Amino acid sequence: MKKILVLMFAILVVLSFAEVKIQFWHAMGGWRIELIQGMVNDFMKANPNIKVEVQYVGSYEEILAKTVAALQAGTPPHVVQLNEISTKKMIDSGVIVPVEDMIKKDPSFDKKKLLPQVLNYYSIGGKLYSMPWNSSTPLLFYNKTMFKQAGLDPNKPPRTFSEVISYSRKLVKKDDKGNMIRTGITWPLYAWFFEQWMAEQNKLLVDNNNGRTGNPTKVMFNNEAGLKIFEFWNTLTKEGLMINTKKGDWTAARQLFISQTVGMIITSTSDVALLLSESKKQGFEIGAAYIPIPDGVQRAGVIIGGGSLWLIKQKNQAEVEAAWKLVKYLADVDPQIAWHKGTGYFPVRLDAKEKLEKEGYYKDNPLHYVAIKQLLDTIPSYATMGAVVGVFPEIRNAIDNAVEKMINGQLTPKQALEEAEREANKAIKQYF
Amino acid sequence: MRKWVPYLFILPTFLIISIFIYYPAFNSFYLSFFKVSVFGNRKMFVWFDNYIDLFSDERFVRAFSFTIVFTLVTVVVSVFLAFFIALLLNQKVPGVRLFRTFIFAPYAVSTAVAGALWGFMLNPVVGHVNYLMARLFGVQVNWITTIPYAAYAVIIAAIWKTLPFNIIFYIAGLQSIPDELVEATKLDGANVWTRTWKLTFPLLSPITYYLVIMSIISSMFQSFAIIDVMTRGGPGDYTTNIIYRIYLDGFRFSKTGPASAESVILFLIMIVVTAVYFKFGRKSVHYQ
């Protein structure tokens, strides 16, 4: 009997020192795979008893689908990266450990260090559910060299919708057959931009204060503010001042800008590094500015996009603790700075930003500065905090579809807005 | 031999098919009567609500009709075109092996790559097609983002992808036609046209019969990759067919119930098409 007890004790001791294995799934392809692996390797060096398996799983949608499958199979991953529109779904799912719960137990992490705009976005009812990690906003980039050629002032990017239209008219160039060889502007056909322009006008996307004080019951964009955006989009397309991509085709939009087919692009700040290096290769100078807004409104600001890290509930609490350590590390000052420099997603922490300022980083990288300044200038309100709604992917799809029908001449801007509202409301009603 | 021995031999295959085909199929049939939460941890029995919702949803009706148009055009064009190309490739001309290799190449390419390839060729800015069209006719078309060109684009890509498979079968069939028959028709004074339609085509009817079914299946199910890569079902939902709708509802919007109902409907369509085709198609098939 004694022997057995000793043996059991010995096993317990060994087990408690054994290494914990956790899985981390992310959606950052390309050169960022290496970057993330490097950051995780540093983490493992500092925590030799934790082994992290990093996996690039594909898109955010694929991560969500595979997480669902893994949960049903009983082997969920520990840390998953999901985009902002999954927030509500994850909160309602009951399968996650809210980051706030871990912060309460861990005095070494101060959530006040996070950028207030970022903290606002990922907090619902004052509770932080996931760890902000790769945050971005939209930004206007423009081809300074082309501006000069077209007789525009390269230091005066357009600030309003009507300026975008008049600038674009000047940028248009046609060949002798009347075919367009150069035009004004592009942005990926994605409802994210529509949401940004609603926020800029300080208007909500869904009711119950953008779903932040209660479950949303309907969308709020079928109004004057929404119409302004749709009409802007429609006018640019009809006049040939804008080239539209297919749904969510960021690459095509970048291609149009890099090949100098268009003079301006509105895209994510996470494209900063890429656009800078490509424009150098193509031999043109690039500028960045806040996104243009509807005429006669006061600029309210932009909404965070990008992704955050979620902790999934586990049977073994030690694994959750290890996962929390990893998440905490990835949101720490130095990893955030490395991440920012490597991608263009901005640091989610105030102290990281201050450290970069002290280093003089923003003097050498003025475009990165514009990106973060636009966010810091944002006036906090429910509108600029962004919507929290379970059927977000469907709402975006409804808006995308309506826009595509409008620019194909099947619907007027007003009809398109009505259709988007109808489809979105139907989706909200069916949310389960 | 005991009675149960044959069953023993088919058991391994049956097990694999059960796990990967029968179980998921029955499961989606079962789930089509439920409303399921994103993580599958909450379920609600809703009778036929998913089906009723689908048929009262004009988006699904449009997806339904696009599926029919897409399938019809793809199958008819790819089968007939394959027949004529096979006739040409069956000629004894120098370099025919080289041509065959070139023409079979798309078969070796995965569907997603085919979509990406066509997406690139039809790209309004850097695509070859638009470059040529602008040079030759002075017109530019936004293939992927405008109606009706987006539909043409996916149909062209789908035909290009299914064509080589059909050609291989036709060539194999053509080579098995006995020379005596061809010579006999020549002696009887039949010209190329009559020979093709009165001799070759009827003799190849079992192959046509098989290819039509295969092409229907592939254009209904495998078109997903082409559509996803090229148009994402757009503009609007113009090029969304049922299989793409299933993907959207099931994986993008996490609505397992409606997605299951859609796959059951697609299954029923397949059953009906195959049954009708077996009943009426068989009459015009001649086996040697």
Structure ipTM: 0.85
C-alpha–C-alpha distance, residues A331 and A338, integer Å? 11
Q: Work out the end-to-end distance of chain B between its first and last CA atoms, rounded to an integer number of angstroms.
A: 35
What residue in B sits closest to A402 (Cα-Cα)? B236
Residues of A in contact with B231 (CB under 8 A): 246
- Band the pLDDT of B66: cuts 50, 70, 90: very high
Can you tell me whether residue B118 is helix, strand or coil? helix
B62 touches chain A (CB under 8 A): no
Question: Do A138-301+390-430 and A2-135+305-371 have the same topology in CATH?
Answer: yes
- Residue B288, pLDDT > 80, answer no
Please give the pLDDT value at position A59: 84
Domain layout of chain A by residue ranges: 2-135+305-371, 138-301+390-430
Please give the pLDDT value at position A7: 67
**Number of structural domains, chain B?**
1
Looking up residue B189, the CATH number of its domain turns out to be 1.10.3720.10
C-alpha–C-alpha distance, residues B143 and B126, integer Å? 12
Tell me the DSSP string of A242-296. Answer: EEEEEET-HHHHHHHHHTTSEEEEEEEGGGHHHHHHHHHHHT--EEEEPPPB-TT
For B262-273, write each residue's pLDDT tens digit.
999 999 988 888
B19 touches chain A (CB under 8 A): no
Of B125, B138, B236, the CB nearest to A179: B138
**B232 to A243: CB separation less than 8 angstroms, yes or no:** no
Q: What is the mean pLDDT of residues B244-250?
A: 92
Please give the pLDDT value at position B223: 87
**Residue A72 structure tokens:** 């049903």
Q: What is the mean pLDDT of residues B105-132?
A: 84
**A93 to B253: CB separation less than 8 angstroms, yes or no:** no
Residues 6+ apart with CB under 8 A from B226: B111, B112, B114, B115, B118, B154, B157, B158, B161
Residues of A in contact with B139 (CB under 8 A): 179
Give the best residue of B19, B39, B49 to mutate against chain A (max A CB count within 10 A).
B39
B115 touches chain A (CB under 8 A): no
Please give the pLDDT value at position A320: 92
Residues 6+ apart with CB under 8 A from B229: B112, B115, B116, B119
C-alpha–C-alpha distance, residues A363 and A368, integer Å? 9
Please give the pLDDT value at position B141: 81
Q: What is the mean pLDDT of residues B74-96?
A: 88
**B237 to A407: CB separation less than 8 angstroms, yes or no:** no
- Residue B93, pLDDT > 90, answer no
C-alpha–C-alpha distance, residues B59 and B54, integer Å? 8
Can you tell me whether residue B33 is helix, strand or coil? coil
Q: Comparing C-alpha atoms, which of A138, A193, A191, A159 is closest to residue A374?
A: A138
**B253 to A391: CB separation less than 8 angstroms, yes or no:** yes
B252 touches chain A (CB under 8 A): yes
Query: Is A210 within 8 Å of A401 (Cβ atoms)?
Result: no
Please give the pLDDT value at position A146: 95
Task: Determine, yes or no, domain membership for B201.
Answer: yes
Q: What is the mean pLDDT of residues B32-43?
A: 85
**B145 to A246: CB separation less than 8 angstroms, yes or no:** yes
Nearest C-alpha of chain A: how many angstroms from B137? 10
Of B39, B144, B233, the CB nearest to A93: B39
- Residue B125, pLDDT > 80, answer no
- Band the pLDDT of B200: cuts 50, 70, 90: confident
Please give the pLDDT value at position A428: 93
**A61 to B236: CB separation less than 8 angstroms, yes or no:** no
Residues of A in contact with B125 (CB under 8 A): 243, 255-256, 259, 261
Measured CA distances, A322 to A16, A164, A345 (Å)? 13, 50, 25
- Chain A residues with CB-CB distance to B under 8 A? 61, 64-65, 68, 71-72, 89, 92-95, 177-180, 189, 243-249, 252, 255-256, 259, 261, 390-391, 393-394, 397, 400-402, 404-405, 407-408, 410, 423, 427, 430, 432
- Residue B287, pLDDT > 70, answer no
Task: Determine, yes or no, domain membership for B178.
Answer: yes
Least confident of A211-215, B92-96, B259-263, B279-283: B279-283
Please give the pLDDT value at position A263: 94
**Residue A295 structure tokens:** 């005429």
Residue ranges in chain A whose pLDDT is less than 50? none
B234 touches chain A (CB under 8 A): yes
Measured CA distances, B13 to A216, B6, B16 (Å)? 50, 12, 5
Torsion over CA of A338, A344, A349 and A352, rounded to 10 degrees? 50
Residues of B in contact with A393 (CB under 8 A): 252-254
Please give the pLDDT value at position A13: 56
C-alpha–C-alpha distance, residues A212 and A191, integer Å? 20
Measured CA distances, A298 to A199, A224, A289, A386 (Å)? 11, 15, 16, 18
**Helix/strand/coil (H, E, C) string of B86-117?**
HHHHCCCCCCHHHHHHHHHHHHHCCHHHHHHH
CATH of domain A2-135+305-371: 3.40.190.10
Of A179, A245, A394, the CB nearest to B253: A394
Task: Determine, yes or no, domain membership for B10.
Answer: no
Query: Is A280 within 8 Å of A362 (Cβ atoms)?
Result: no
* A138-301+390-430: CATH topology: D-Maltodextrin-Binding Protein; domain 2 (3.40.190)
**Distance from the Cα of residue B30 to its chain's centroid:** 27
Pairs across A and B, CB distance < 8 A: 100
**Distance from the Cα of residue A311 to its chain's centroid:** 19
Please give the pLDDT value at position B227: 92
Please give the pLDDT value at position A140: 96
Nearest C-alpha of chain B: how many angstroms from A28? 18
- Determine the structural domain holding residue B155 and report its residue range: 50-282
- Band the pLDDT of B188: cuts 50, 70, 90: confident
Query: What is the average pLDDT value for chain B, to the nearest integer?
Result: 87
Please give the pLDDT value at position A175: 78
